[in-house]
Structure 1
Amino acid sequence: MGKSYSIQALYDLCKKTFTPSGFPPPSSQSIQKLCSILDTIGPADVGLKEDNADDDRGHGFFGFNQFNRVARWAQPITYMEIHECDSFTMCIFRLPSSSVIPLHDHPGMTVMSKVLYGSMHVKAYDWVEPACIRNINGYPVRLAKLAVDKVLAAPFGTSILYPRSGGNLHCFTSVTSCAVLDILAPPYREAAGRKCTYYNDYPYSSFSKGTSSEIQDGKEEDYAWLQEIDTPVDLYMRQGEYVGPALRH
């Protein structure tokens, strides 16, 4: 595919596949067709160049304290919108080394992610159903099961999460400077009940009271208690300009 054709073909297929309500859900055949296009897209197809490694002054995912924001050089995550409509959002996130997009959800949404360059660690959960909720010191926590815990590096294939499976609640931590192309369908719309909510996760043993009665399958390490939090004040994100091929609408 040519550079302009790849992203245009992706947009055209998204228009045919997704709806404003998310219903009916996209078919597996449609998802596979989208993946086949996404898997071919690289930085040049969306007007990007890989960041110069010499400028990567972060400590790295396994370096110094990854949660110590003061220790990390303050360079923002950049958000670039390619297209947004009632049915889907196409966008790019550029993350400097060691930066974090905190754990957050995608209510009622299907999300497809393709790492364009670099590498990032993904940790993702799905809610345990039926809902298992406890009240801890006046604050509710809800049980979730780990779905993904691995490093994705370009040119790794497309990752997919669904409303109830595949890791609907996820956190990104850049191992190196990286960029990821996301398709969110339908997009966040608070009026439609699709608000982005952030969470802290706690090991299952933190609130287990010495029992494991809620565990359905797997090990205790596969489960965590998630607590809703306000949008993190240190989430440093700025708007960037999409510089790739223009879309024909």
Structure 2
Amino acid sequence: MAAPIQKIARLAFHVFSRKQFDGTFHEGLKSLKSMLNNITSKELNFDVNSLKRNPTQFEEAPVGYVSIWEDDVISIGVFVVKPNGRLPLHDHPGMHGLIRVIHGALNLKSFTETSGVGVPSDLNRKLTTPQEKSLLKPAVLVGESVVSTQDECCVLTPTDGNIHEIRPVGETVAFLDVLSPPYGDSKDCNYYSEMSVTESENQGDGITWLLKIPSPADYWCETFDYTGPVIDEAQFDN
């Protein structure tokens, strides 16, 4: 019998490799979400405490990553975010992302980019050059919620909730992450900071202004070996 992560990888590959050609994409995505809702850390042979066996590597990095599978259609892995860490506000350009918490709990804050909104005058004064202003974008807050192992997986699409920040709630959190398509040479993650707008400039339309910034200095990621069931690509065709 195929391991749960093998079934997830196979379904994810089929769903995302056919999304532009198959009218059943949304049904497939729904099935993938349902399958992810049932995956556990035990089925991945994943234990946060096992990462501490390399104390120097584990203690220094605020975020860890365990790569499970990657091809040109999907990437699957586990992110581990320690109490003092975070995945800063960032985007996945043109990508779908599914997040399933397998240990602890996280706070997910997400935004959807919008357009057709005039820049408030106080931001125009702060950002004086055309180059600075080109890094500014308006977004609408989709929501901020706490997600734990008891909750369903979260789905972020290329247009909905694509800009997001993840922080642990309390202790270390670990989550299974399915991304399609993976990052590549032409796809880079962009980071953002929320810009404050004076109350008099607040247009009352729920707009948050985000400024593209370099990768924050407090964020870096160490990699750890995967010890769970091996994914067999040959089974993708079955």
Q: TM-score, normalised by structure 1?
A: 0.78
d(CA) in 2 for partners of 1:87 and 1:132?
37
Aligned residues: 214
Name the one with the larger helix percent: 2
Q: 2:13: which partner in 1? A: 15
d(CA) in 1 for partners of 2:82 and 2:72?
30
Q: 1:225: which partner in 2? A: 209
d(CA) in 1 for partners of 2:25 and 2:109?
26
Q: 2:28: which partner in 1? A: 30
Could you say what the CA RMSD is over the residues aligned between the two structures, in angstroms?
2.4
d(CA) in 1 for partners of 2:39 and 2:162?
23
Read off the aligned partner of 2:85 and give its amino acid letter: S
d(CA) in 1 for partners of 2:105 and 2:207?
25
Are 1:195 and 2:188 an aligned pair?
yes
Q: 1:137: which partner in 2? A: 128
Are 1:111 and 2:97 an aligned pair?
yes
Shift in Å at residue 202 of structure 1? 2.1
Alignment of 1:1-249 (within 5 A): 5-19=3-17, 23-24=20-21, 27-51=25-49, 74-130=60-116, 135=124, 136-138=127-129, 139-140=132-133, 141-165=136-160, 167-175=161-169, 176-191=171-186, 194-203=187-196, 205-206=197-198, 210=201, 212=203, 215=205, 222-249=206-233
Structure 1: gaps spanning 5 or more residues: 53-72, 216-221
Q: Does the CA-based 8 Å contact 1:51-1:177 persist in structure 2?
A: no
d(CA) in 2 for partners of 1:82 and 1:131?
41
Aligned residues with identical type, % of pairs: 25
d(CA) in 1 for partners of 2:102 and 2:16?
23
SS of the equivalent of 1:18 reads: helix
Read off the aligned partner of 1:118 and give its amino acid letter: G
Read off the aligned partner of 2:34 and give its amino acid letter: S
Q: TM-score, normalised by structure 2?
A: 0.81
d(CA) in 1 for partners of 2:225 and 2:92?
24
